[in-house]
Structure 1
Amino acid sequence: MNRVFRWGLIGPGRIAHNFARGLAAVADAKLYAVASRDKARARSFAAQYGDARCSDSYEALIADPELDAIYIATPHSHHFDLVRACLDAGKSVLCEKPLTVNAAQAEVLFALARERRVFLMEALWTRFLPIYGEVRKWLDEGRIGEVRLLSSSFGFKAPRNPQDRLFNPQLAGGALLDIGIYNLSVSQWVLRRNPEHFSASGHVGATGVDEQLAATLDYGEGLMSQFHCTLRAETANDFWIYGSEGQIRIHPMFWGATTATLSNESGELTLARPHRASGFEYQIEEAQRCIREGRLESPVIPHTDTLATMRLMDALRAAIGQRYPFED
């Protein structure tokens, strides 16, 4: 492997800028190649972040023997085919969340990654952020006693454009896959297990995607996680962990938080752990570490965790009657 870790990037859209800014803060890595179906867009993106090669061919980038790994940042609906092509070519992959549109697709990709002996990880950056390390310490030390309830929201008022990926069913739009995944993934991370059952309600809009969803996940013995996600209104966007002896608040925007507050009988403690750059640098470093060590997955967000979240999202979408046309 090259001394400097060489990344390829497919899909230089909005989220890809966060990746590129994070990558610039990783000392032994560089953005080596960028691919977009619009080559001018690839050139414009590359010009902002160095001297990366540019291409209008995803296939050409995937075949480049100089690359150590590929980051995929296309709309959700394209993830499965692109990840599969990368794995077939023996390329390690960091793919934006959600890894796929449904659990069946994820199962195929994880099986292929094992067969090809290639690293694959869902790029859910939240779990790698420094403040989440502090929250985990508080939980493991029992600073709030026994966890009893989780409560969170993720919402903003999105411009109503039927062609935008958020509202376009052909691009696997909707609130749950795009933003609700954070509420689910952090809940799973806090509790380290799957719910026994759930209840959910949602609003499927005129374009056929879920614009709003509220759910209660029941983990048994009175332990619950309640959350809502919406494209229709601005919400508090924080994450609360309530225990028998106190509470933890992960401040807005919880999915990219730098601050958390612990409150218990000893008083209140607020910690700040700023990002070095965009916050994506931590998941990049984890992916590189795993690849260099020959691992096929990261212990921070293993394949089983991604699959568990995908299965939950499948079930939640089914409960509110939301299904994408290409799933039929």
Structure 2
Amino acid sequence: MENAKIRWGIIGCGDVTEKKSGPAFNKAEGSKLLAVMRRDAIKAADYAERHHVPNWYSTVEELLDNPALNAIYIATPPSSHFEYALKALEAGKDVYVEKPVTLNAHEARLLLDAVTRKNGKLVVAHYRRQLPLFLKVRELLNIGKIGAIRTVQLRLWQSRSPELVTKGAAEWRTDPTISGGGYFFDLAPHQLDLMLYFFGKPISYEGFSQIQDPVSTVADHTTGTILFENHVIFNGSWCFNVRSEDNIDRCEIMGSQGKITFPIFGNSVTVEYDHQKKEYVFAHPEHIQLPMIASTVAFFQGNGPNPASMEEALTLMEIIDCFATVK
């Protein structure tokens, strides 16, 4: 597919595709959105009309049978990621799939096997890797701006109805048969993937979850620790039962000569070193997945590396499964 135009079909043209991702498939160079699918035919047709997409379908099979498509974006809830990714690979299509890549590590391992067996291309939508804010953090780490990294402390504490989740579709996020678990499964993949992106391979990890609020049906408190090969130690805390006044989204990377502080779901980075303090403020792209989609298109065309591989996603899912174990 080297240098060929990437012609996309979307499976699941729901809320996340309205602005975050959908329009970006027509804005990335060498890329065109040709078809969308949703089980609700009326909503599929409406999406296609509003976004000027020439084809719409109400079944996955009809979409995959379109010979003009050579790449598929899977934007359904996690419970169907594995099934649809397998079908797309079987149909000879390249795949870009939303996070979390699967319901659990077992499915992720099977999907990696399928990608390898089919010699296919699959990218996971860990799109924050490609945002200027996090590229800046990685640059600061790589140049040793704060010296040797000692520890990373991450906290994401939210009330029972987090403002960080996509509006209009929150109900399935607390149904483990659809999401894999609670809000941790929806939000932590972004955070933990960035830790893998910044610090490399982990050599050990441990954690657990609890159901603290008696009205919760899924875990609402998670804690976990990761030891990386480069001796960086990560500690994370996720709590979804605090007062709204106590909401916090903060990651602190402590070095021997300073620290870097930033929110995962914000737009600024603060660096402290040599008794100085500097803040970098970023404006995210209008379509926040556009940089990752552009890198994915380049990979599919044979013009760049995989920006978020299935191998890395498997490691991430193994960590999530570990942390999500309820005790």
Unaligned runs of 5+ in 1: 322-328
- What does 1:65-144 correspond to in 2, within 5 Å? 65-144=67-146
How far residue 132 of structure 1 moved from its aligned partner, in angstroms, is: 1.6
Whether the 8 Å contact between 2:271 and 2:277 is mirrored in structure 1 is: yes
- What does 1:1-328 correspond to in 2, within 5 Å? 4-17=5-18, 18-159=20-161, 164-171=171-178, 172-203=180-211, 208-219=217-228, 223-233=232-242, 234=244, 235-250=247-262, 252=263, 254-255=264-265, 257-265=266-274, 267-293=276-302, 298=306, 300-318=307-325, 320-321=326-327
- The 3-state SS of whatever aligns with 1:37 is coil
How far residue 45 of structure 1 moved from its aligned partner, in angstroms, is: 1.9
- The 3-state SS of whatever aligns with 1:105 is helix
Distance in 2 (CA, whole Å) between partners of 1:162 and 1:183 is: 21
Whether the 8 Å contact between 1:21 and 1:277 is mirrored in structure 2 is: no
How far residue 187 of structure 1 moved from its aligned partner, in angstroms, is: 1.9
Unaligned runs of 5+ in 2: 163-167
Q: Deviations over 1:24-81 (max 9, x none)?
A: 4324322211101101111222233223311111111122111121111111111111
Distance in 2 (CA, whole Å) between partners of 1:115 and 1:222 is: 34
Identity %: 24
Which residue identity does 1:289 align to in structure 2? A
Which residue identity does 2:253 align to in structure 1? I
How far residue 198 of structure 1 moved from its aligned partner, in angstroms, is: 2.3
How far residue 309 of structure 1 moved from its aligned partner, in angstroms, is: 0.8
**Structure 2 partner of 1:326:** none
Whether the 8 Å contact between 1:33 and 1:53 is mirrored in structure 2 is: yes
Aligned length, in residue pairs? 315
| Greater alpha carbon shift after TM alignment, 159-168 vs 105-114 | 159-168
Answer 1 or 2: higher relative contact order, Cα 8 Å, separation at least 6.
Answer: 2
Q: Deviations over 1:110-132 (max 9, x none)?
A: 12112222111111111111222
Normalising by structure 1, what TM-score?
A: 0.86
How far residue 246 of structure 1 moved from its aligned partner, in angstroms, is: 0.7
Q: Deviations over 1:82-134 (max 9, x none)?
A: 11111111111000001111112112111211222211111111111122222
Distance in 2 (CA, whole Å) between partners of 1:201 and 1:209 is: 9
CA RMSD, Structure 1 to Structure 2 (Å): 2.7
**CA gap 1:30/1:153 in 2 versus in 1, 3 angstroms:** farther
